Each structure stands twice: as C-alpha cells, then as structure tokens.
C-alpha cells in the first residue's frame, strides 16, 4: 500500500516533470518564432539560404539539447522516487 509520504513524493516529482515538459514545449515554440524571424531578416538583407539554414540548424541543436536535459531530469526524478519507495520503512 502506498502511504501519504509516497503519494506526496510522487505528486511533487510529477509536478516537476510537468514543469520540465512545459519548459521544453515553450522552448520549441521560441525556436520556431526565432527561426521565422531569423529567416525573414536574413532574406531581407539578401543573405544566401545556406547561411540562414546554418543559423536555423544551430537553433535546432540548442533546442534538442534543452529537450534532452528536460527528459534526463524527468528520468532522474523517476529513479529517485523508485529508490525512495524501495527503502525499507523504519
């Protein structure tokens, strides 16, 4: 049976994971808006497509790293919870 402390810990970890997922989504939205602004401004000054595409690739790489960090954090919190629940009760 799950006791109150375990349920509270699960809720806290779930809330932290939800916040991390929300941050990843917001970062993706920011990348998309930045990409549009970047491409619009570069095309406006006559830059070649290759330069604009390279800049977009850098933005995408940054987002991928942020997303991976959020997922890694969620995995860590899940493992921490598993360890805490597995500890023998005193």
| 15-53: pLDDT as tens digits | 888 888 888 888 888 878 887 787 788 778 887 777 777
The reply to whether 44 falls in a domain is no
SS3 sequence, 13-79?
Answer: HHHHHHHHHHHHHHHHHHHHHHHHHHHHHHHHCCCCHHHHHHHHHHHHHHHHHHHHHHHHHHHHHHH
The reply to whether 30 falls in a domain is no
How many domains does the chain fold into?
Answer: 1
The reply to whether 6 falls in a domain is no
Q: Does the pLDDT value for residue 89 go beyond 70?
A: no
Supply the pTM of this predicted model.
0.55
What phi and psi values does residue 10 have, to the nearest 5 degrees? -60, -40
The reply to whether 61 falls in a domain is yes
């Amino acid at each position: 049976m799950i006791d109150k402390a375990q349920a509270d810990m699960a809720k806290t970890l779930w809330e932290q994971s939800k916040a991390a997922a929300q941050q990843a989504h917001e970062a993706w939205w920011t990348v998309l808006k930045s990409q549009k602004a970047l491409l619009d401004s570069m095309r406006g000054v006559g830059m070649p497509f290759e330069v604009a595409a390279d800049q977009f690739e850098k933005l995408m790489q940054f987002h991928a790293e942020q997303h991976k960090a959020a997922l890694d954090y969620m995995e860590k919190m899940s493992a921490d919870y598993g360890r805490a629940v597995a500890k023998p009760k005193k």
